[in-house]
Structure 1
Amino acid sequence: MILRNKNKCKDKNEGVLVASMKKKLSHQSAITRFLKALHPTNVFNQFSKIRNKLFSLTFLLMFAFGMMGLLIFQFLSSIYEEKIYEEAANNLHLSSTVLDRELYNMEDFSFSIVTDPSIQNYLDQLRAENISYNTYRVRTNLVDRMILFANQERYIQSVQIMDANQNMMVAGFTSDVDIDMDETKAMIEQAGGGNVWRNTEQGEYLVAAREIKKQENLSLDHLGYLIITLNIEDLIDDTLNFAPDKNFVITKGDEVVYTDSFKPFEVDSFLKTKEAEDGYRIENVDDKEYFITGQPSRYFDLTYYNVLPFEDVDSKKAIITQMMIGYLLLVVIITVFISRQSAKAISKPIEELTQRMKKVQKGDFDQVEYEKKNYLKDEIGDLQENFHIMLNKINELIKENYTKQLVIKETEYKALQSQINPHFLYNTLDSIHWMAKMNQQEKISTMAEALGNMMRNIISKKEPLIKISEELEIVENYITIQKYRYGERLQFKLEKEPGAEYLSIPKLTIQPIVENAIQHGLEEMMETCTISVQISTGEDDVRIVVRDNGPGIDKETIQKIHEGKVKPKGSGIGLYNINERIHLMFGEDGGVKIERENEEGTAVIITLPFMKG
């Protein structure tokens, strides 16, 4: 029976444990599902339209940054308040230290007056003598000596001495300060004749008083009393640099020694400040809150209070709080507006671009001219612009290819014209050659032979590329013919690097340039014209330079030649045509460049890729 009850209890405990674990796992699973649902990716994918996705994303970012901004604001506000409190406490400590030191120096200053030998001597004479001329003279000398001490500091309002006969001598700016001498004497006697500090009814003055005792032979006989009146406002201005919104209060026990803007009964609340653990507190004075810090003097029974209007601290914090709330509201409004406009700005250009792509798919390359809108300055705008640039490139390539095909056809047509009945032309030239030889006409024979060789090289070579040696044969035959025409006025030079004659170049590349040199150089001058051909090779190209010492070509004409606006003379194959043929065969790796020499002449530079025949 007992065993059966134990088994039941065990089963019951195990059931409770299993149920607790299932509940815990179910709770954890629910939290996991909730966190997954809040994941930005899942939230973003809940929407099918771009504008809704953007809105959800910006809302999440706004919420996250808003919470971060609030936390940072609270943190910075607490730091700001602590810094304000620390600054006030540090300023008080510094000001109290400086003021303490100044008052301590003033106590030493009063001691130096009462122990001054001259003042001791004058007071000793006044104590012993009755009223006489000598008494008047001694008092005058004593006042002069007191004036010297009174002028040593700007904030010393007056220096007064009461002699043993109760006569008062005054030196300084004014003596209109009410001082209760009976009370002052009692305070001095209580201090054993030492220096005491007390206030005045005027409030802006602070009084330092002490007994004057005879120092000679240490008799310590009573000679009188010294009273130094200080203008506390001048003292604070000279020693402390307080801001206009700060107030300073000095108390001695429960007595107010100095206050610049508070009434004595208002200072009663300041007396509690020294009891605060942090040394500062916020008090309500005359329905206005003040931040108050207290610091006791290190040398005297005085306490210094630094009073700052709390509204200066709290108003700045309130302004920051209002700015923060306004900022959050502005962010919410701007975020909603920008998210909607952004979705529209993104989806609309994509739809337009899709429609244009469908037209291109159907073969419509001639579309409306693209005008980039000011708001399309993002990647989608770049995509649209690049798409239209691609279309323009395709159209340009189509037009360029069509133009180049026309140039090729024209060149082939001219070549076909020159190939009409070539055998008849060869036979005729051979007949002229042999008839000239038979009649001993060497010049005619040589010219006919050179012309025949030149025509065979031009017409019989069907390939677009020929060796440089074959091209030079055409040039030499042409020069032979032209020398019979121009005689000594034509000089021809040929310079080539060894092995260059085996390289391949387009047919009729050098000969038309030499012909242009004769047409534009030799025929424009009466002197001897020197035409030179220089062939050099580089690492991956061959360079052919044709120079003449003719009158040269101006820059405007050179520009027109490059643009194909100058019609060629002679054979009809101009520099523009040669340049186009080179570009058709080799692309941008080769070309023709025209340069004007320093003073006279022209240089035509042909650059071709390095190709062996």
Structure 2
Amino acid sequence: MADLKTLYRNLRIKYKLLVLISAVIATFGILIVVVQQYAFEVYDREIYEQSSAALNQTAAAIENELRKVQQQSYRMAIDEVIQEQLRKIKDAGSDYDRYLASYQIRERIVLLGGLDNHVRSVQLIDAHGGEYSVGKAPVSYTAGRIRLLERETSLTQGGNTWIEPDEEDGALAAARLIRSYEQLSLESLGVLAIRIDMHRLTADVAGASLPAKAALLIYGKERMIFGPAGFEGEERLLRAYAAAASNGYDIIELGGRRYFLTQLPSAYTEWTYVTLIPYDDIFHRLADVKNWTLLAYLLLFLLTVFFAFRFARGITGPIEKLSAKMKRVQMGNFAYEDDEDQRDMPMDETGQLHRNFRIMLQRIDELVREGYARQLAVKESEFKALQAQINPHFLYNTLETINWSAKMARQPHISSMVESLGFLLRSSISLKEPLIPLSQELGIVLHYINIQRIRFEERLDFRLDVPDVLMPVLIPKLSLQPLVENAVNYALEKMTDTCVIAITAEEKDGLIELTVSDNGPGMDESILMRLKSGEVKPKGSGVGLRNIDERIRLLFGEGYGLDIASRRGEGTRVRLRLPIREGGGNQHVPRAAGR
């Protein structure tokens, strides 16, 4: 077993597919033989199940119509007009009164369905034995038939009674005793019988349910209630066959022909439903099915072999081509060579292998070029870094010279502005860490405010309300100064009155909330949305609100960030929500003056 497994694993894919196809075809052949043998064994049962289902559906449809007839007879028996006229007849009025009563009874029966398709006629016998007939095929009952109706209906005391066909009347009848419900006297007023046209009824409700060439028979307690022509003389034999079919079905022989008999006892009445299907016709169709099955198997075999070889060639061909390309790469040739049929390569796994291999070689070539270009860029950046080291020192020295010149010239405003400018430049260049203590960030803000206070004088009122305990908290570098600068550009510059710019901080739910607010003219909702999205570029340093918000989210997560609230004429408020993280650095900054 292990040797066969190893041999199979070492076979080439095309041979593995041939082995697999041969095994599948052999399995199909064996399966077809087994299925055919099993089909002959269970075919009788399948026929019974189908016939039983059809018979059950037919019986249910017939009995549903019989229930309708039964309900119809009940409506006639309790009809107020019919009962009133029957009481008049029973009270022995004049002949004219009886004539009028009989006329109204017939008219009422017609209105209540006496001319329905499945009704032959409605027979009504009054308390004096008078008979009234309405319908498509009315009859006149003999005295013996009337006595039979009275005797059978008296047993059910007003309930429905099925009168089976006999020699006098070949129609099934739904009969019941009509009893007066006036003052609940329940006295007998007459007998009602609705004669049913079973041929029309079965043709209407059972024609589509039963198999072709199937004959339906219905047996009552004593006689055949319904049956097609040709089986009249076999009534007793068929009843015996139906009673002997303990499994619900049997194969019988009548008149030299075999029939498949299915019987079903009624759950509604004491009747038995029987179907007869010619058995020879069934086997004729079975032989046709067997021949068509063998033909279909042969066609399936040929198609399977044909498509299997195409399938094997479609899989192994691209793999062999890819293997040849890999051997070229193994020899050091990284140039990818397209095949003539490369554009027709399928999108299955083999096609994906070819595409991924081509992309891999292209990526290798790109990485080689990027590596060379990166080395050149590193050399160039090193050279520019040397140049950049000269410019800040030159600028610091220049500002220091201006500062001393301003002090010697007794110009304190110029000296203060130069010192603040130098501090701002040194902070923006020297601080390399992305997070700095809140105290350092406020120091940058105060130097910026110092410059703007000299510029705007009394028009700027800066206020700072930050508890000392929050000074060590780490915040992103240059996160407050751009917000103050925006307040100056969008609020202070557009006002003629004093502009109040305030920075507040508080600890809330384990977070620190920093707020920069002003009492400027505010912004419309459209401008505010464009400012949040980055469409409006801020003035001054160019650090946008969206940039600050994205930096906070990258550093701390999506639960933190920046919120803006502004309305026209009500100022603007920008709030930063940050986690509390403490670091080193100076924890105290000088408080800003009121103005």
Pick from 384, 394, 399: which aligns with 1:425?
399
Shift of 1:444: 4.4
TM-score (norm 1): 0.50
Instruction: Rate the CA distance shift 1:312–1:589 in 2: closer, same or farther, 3 A.
Output: same
Counterpart residue number, 1:103? none
Instruction: Measure, in 2, the Cα distance between the counterparts of 1:550 and 1:353.
Output: 70
Counterpart residue number, 1:574? 543
Instruction: Measure, in 2, the Cα distance between the counterparts of 1:67 and 1:609.
Output: 77
- Residue aligned with 1:518, SS: helix
Counterpart residue number, 2:439? 469
Question: Does 2:206 correspond to 1:243?
Answer: yes
Counterpart residue number, 2:276? 307
Asked whether the equivalents of residues 365 and 395 of structure 1 are also in contact (C-alpha less than 8 Å), the reply is no
Aligned partner letter, 2:206? A
Question: Does 2:11 correspond to 1:47?
Answer: yes
Shift of 1:429: 0.6
Instruction: Measure, in 1, the Cα distance between the counterparts of 2:428 and 2:59.
Output: 108
Counterpart residue number, 2:46? 80
Aligned partner letter, 2:396? P
Instruction: Measure, in 1, the Cα distance between the counterparts of 2:401 and 2:280.
Output: 119
- Residue aligned with 1:502, SS: coil
Asked whether the equivalents of residues 579 and 591 of structure 1 are also in contact (C-alpha less than 8 Å), the reply is no
Deviation digits for residues 281-321 of structure 1 (CA, Å, limit 9, x no counterpart): 5467789753246899xxxxx99964334478668867876
Unaligned regions of 5+ residues in structure 1, if any? 1-32, 100-142, 163-168, 172-195, 208-229, 297-301
Counterpart residue number, 1:517? 487
Asked whether the equivalents of residues 534 and 546 of structure 2 are also in contact (C-alpha less than 8 Å), the reply is no
Counterpart residue number, 2:229? 261
Within-5 A mapping of 1:146-545: 148=130, 157-160=139-142, 205=170, 234=197, 243-244=206-207, 245-248=214-217, 260-262=228-230, 273=241, 281-282=250-251, 290-292=259-261, 306-310=275-279, 376=347, 417-436=391-410, 443-455=413-425, 457-458=427-428, 466-496=436-466, 498-504=468-474, 507-534=477-504, 545=515
Instruction: Measure, in 1, the Cα distance between the counterparts of 2:333 and 2:560.
Output: 34
Deviation digits for residues 348-384 of structure 1 (CA, Å, limit 9, x no counterpart): 787899869998999999999xx99997478996997
Instruction: Rate the CA distance shift 1:561–1:349 in 2: closer, same or farther, 3 A.
Output: farther
Aligned partner letter, 1:248? L
Instruction: Measure, in 2, the Cα distance between the counterparts of 1:87 and 1:468.
Output: 86
Q: Which structure has the larger Rg?
A: 1
Instruction: Measure, in 2, the Cα distance between the counterparts of 1:604 and 1:410.
Output: 39
Within-5 A mapping of 1:23-34: none
Asked whether the equivalents of residues 451 and 477 of structure 1 are also in contact (C-alpha less than 8 Å), the reply is yes
- Residue aligned with 2:574, SS: strand
- Residue aligned with 2:445, SS: helix
CA RMSD of aligned residues (A): 7.1
Asked whether the equivalents of residues 155 and 234 of structure 1 are also in contact (C-alpha less than 8 Å), the reply is no
Asked whether the equivalents of residues 536 and 544 of structure 1 are also in contact (C-alpha less than 8 Å), the reply is yes
Deviation digits for residues 218-255 of structure 1 (CA, Å, limit 9, x no counterpart): xxxxxxxxxxxx999836777999834423388999x9
Shift of 1:492: 2.6
Aligned partner letter, 1:479? I
Aligned partner letter, 2:399? L
Instruction: Rate the CA distance shift 1:419–1:288 in 2: closer, same or farther, 3 A.
Output: farther
Counterpart residue number, 2:176? none
Percent of residue pairs identical = 21
Instruction: Measure, in 1, the Cα distance between the counterparts of 2:260 and 2:10.
Output: 55
Unaligned regions of 5+ residues in structure 2, if any? 67-124, 148-163, 173-192, 208-213, 266-270, 585-595
Counterpart residue number, 1:603? 574
Shift of 1:473: 1.3
Deviation digits for residues 404-451 of structure 1 (CA, Å, limit 9, x no counterpart): 999999999888644425234224313313532xxxx55445444544
Counterpart residue number, 2:115? none
Instruction: Measure, in 2, the Cα distance between the counterparts of 1:333 and 1:388.
Output: 40
- Residue aligned with 1:83, SS: helix
Aligned partner letter, 1:574? V
Instruction: Rate the CA distance shift 1:359–1:77 in 2: closer, same or farther, 3 A.
Output: farther
Instruction: Measure, in 2, the Cα distance between the counterparts of 1:92 and 1:576.
Output: 80
Deviation digits for residues 185-216 of structure 1 (CA, Å, limit 9, x no counterpart): xxxxxxxxxxx99869xxx9499xxxxxxxxx
Aligned partner letter, 1:262? G
Asked whether the equivalents of residues 492 and 531 of structure 1 are also in contact (C-alpha less than 8 Å), the reply is yes
Aligned partner letter, 2:583? K
Instruction: Rate the CA distance shift 1:205–1:495 in 2: closer, same or farther, 3 A.
Output: same
Counterpart residue number, 1:29? none
Moved more, 56-65 or 479-488: 56-65
Shift of 1:485: 1.0
Instruction: Measure, in 2, the Cα distance between the counterparts of 1:265 and 1:575.
Output: 106
Asked whether the equivalents of residues 429 and 452 of structure 1 are also in contact (C-alpha less than 8 Å), the reply is no
Instruction: Measure, in 2, the Cα distance between the counterparts of 1:247 and 1:512.
Output: 97
Instruction: Rate the CA distance shift 1:502–1:249 in 2: closer, same or farther, 3 A.
Output: closer
Asked whether the equivalents of residues 273 and 293 of structure 1 are also in contact (C-alpha less than 8 Å), the reply is no
Aligned partner letter, 1:601? T
Aligned partner letter, 1:487? E
